[in-house]
Amino acid sequence: MKYSSILKLNKTWEIGRRPIPDSDNFNLITDTAVVEQLFRMDYLSQQKIFCNKKVLDVGCGTGYSAEYCIDVGKASHVTGLEVDSLLIENLRKENKKTNLHYVYYSPPDFPLEQHSFDIATCFEVLEHIDEEKQKNILAEISRVLKKDGIAIISTPNRPVYSPDGISANPDHINELDKNQLLRICSKYFSNIQIFGQKRTDENYLIRKQAIHLFSNSQTGKILRKLGVPLIMRKLRKTKQKEPFYIAKKQWIIDSKVDNRTEFLIAICSNFFRDKEISRRKI
C-alpha cells in the first residue's frame, strides 16, 4: 500500500478523520495513533492469533491494520469493512494483494455472510458511535463469526483517557469504561476477557493528564483562542519521533486494568477456548 497516495485523498473522505501511516514501511512509521494500534496488531500477531485465519477488520480506516494482519500476522485472507465509500474506493485502487478485499458498509447490516470469519477485529470504533450503533456492530460481528470464532475489540479506557469527562479527541462521542465494555459485549458473547494496553513509562499518563486538564481550564481555553496550542503542536511535529520498531517497546498488554490502562481490549467468543486464548497466553 502506498499510504502517501491515500494521504493526498484524505480531504475527500466523507466521515471523520483517519490516522494515516507516515511511511510505507511498517517499521519506520512514527505517527503516534498508528503506532498505538500497530503495537496491538504486532502483539496479537506474535501470539499467532491471525495465522492462517480468515479475518474481518471492522472500521479498517486507511487499511494499515488489515495489511499488517496479512504481512506480519500471516492471515490467509482479510476483509476490511468501512462506512466511507470514497475511502473504500481509494483503498481498492491502491490495494495490490489478492487476499485482501475492502468492502463498503452501509449500516445497519454488514454485507457479509453469516458464520464466515474466524477472527473479527474492531479497533477504536465504538467510541465514535452512540450506544445503539455500538450494539448493532457487536451483533453483526457475532453474526458473521464462525461458531468457534473470536472477536477482538479495543476502545479507549474512559476514566484514564478522559479523566475529567472531556475527551481529548473531539471525534469521540461515547467512550466506555471496563464495566460498560463488559456489559455491552456480554449481550452478544458468552465468554469475554478484558485486557489492558498501557505505557511502560509510568509517568507518561501523569504528564498527559496534566496537559489535558490544563487545556480545558479557563487559562487553557484563553490560550486556545489565541492559537497557542496549534503553535505548540507544530513545534512538537518538528521533534524527531521514534520509528515503530523502537516505539512499540513503550507499550505492554496485560490482564490488569488499572489507572495506567489507556486502552481496553475485549477478547470475545461464544464458546470456551481456554487452550488457545487464555490470560496466560495473551
Task: Tell me the residue type at 5.
Answer: S
Q: Where are the domains of the chain?
A: 3-202+242-269
Alpha-carbon distance of 91 to 102, in angstroms, equals 7
Residue 206 has pLDDT above 70, yes or no: no
Which of residues 56 and 166 earns the better pLDDT score? 56
CATH topology for the 3-202+242-269 domain? Rossmann fold (3.40.50)
Residue 209 has pLDDT above 60, yes or no: no
pLDDT band at residue 166 using 50, 70 and 90 as cut-offs: confident
Residues 214/5, Cβ–Cβ less than 8 Å: no
Residue 228 has pLDDT above 60, yes or no: no
Strands (E), the chain: 54-58, 77-82, 100-104, 117-123, 145-156, 191-199, 251-254, 261-269
Which of residues 156 and 209 earns the better pLDDT score? 156
- Phi, psi torsion values for 160, nearest 5 degrees: -100, -45
Which of residues 55 and 274 earns the better pLDDT score? 55
Q: What is the mean pLDDT of the chain?
A: 83
- Name the least confident of 92-106, 171-185, 192-206: 192-206
Q: What is the pLDDT of residue 121?
A: 98
Q: What is the mean pLDDT of residues 203-221?
A: 60
Q: What is the pLDDT of residue 226?
A: 65
Residue 234 has pLDDT above 60, yes or no: no
Strands 261-269 and 145-156 come out as antiparallel
Of the candidates 39, 27, 72, the residue with the CA atom closest to the CA atom of residue 243: 27
Task: Tell me the residue type at 50.
Answer: F
Q: What is the mean pLDDT of residues 140-155?
A: 97
pLDDT band at residue 235 using 50, 70 and 90 as cut-offs: very low
Residue 247 has pLDDT above 90, yes or no: no
Q: What is the pLDDT of residue 274?
A: 43
User: Alpha-carbon torsion 58, 268, 71, 100, what sign?
Assistant: negative
